[in-house]
Amino acid sequence: MLSRARLHALLYRLGAERGFCLPPTTRAAILDDPPSTPDALTDAILRGEGFDPEHTERRIRRMVSELVDAAFEEAHDDALRAYALEEHERLTDVTSPDDAATSADSRRRR
């Protein structure tokens, strides 16, 4: 799923780069309750522009889906990077058993 900021940026790009400028009410509805898959979001955008998603020319659908798919891929990549960073931090915060034993020995000697 896309964050509100990423979704807002996507809708801006669709308007600026591809000419898909959604009416304010449609834009607000998508931002408030975004579809969770690329295909569903593409369909919602097409409907907002007055197209029937089932009967839209492939070329037109592709104009929207290319940017939608890219936004979902970026969001997925960001999530993977965040997870990898969390795991790295978690693993580097754990002391090795040898370090823990050395620390315990030094406390007993005091």
pLDDT in tens, 40-68: 999 999 999 999 999 999 999 999 999 99
pLDDT over threshold 70, residue 107: no
| Maximum Cα interatomic distance, the chain, rounded to a whole number of Å | 79
Confidence of residue 76 (pLDDT cuts 50, 70, 90): confident
Confidence of residue 75 (pLDDT cuts 50, 70, 90): confident
Tokens of 97: 């058993």
Tokens of 16: 């600026």
Q: How far is CA 83 from the centre of its chain?
A: 13
Higher pLDDT, 108 or 14: 14
d(CA 38, CA 72): 7
Q: What is the arithmetic mean of pLDDT over 30-41?
A: 96
Q: Where are the beta strands (DSSP E) in 1-110?
A: none
d(CA 30, CA 18): 18
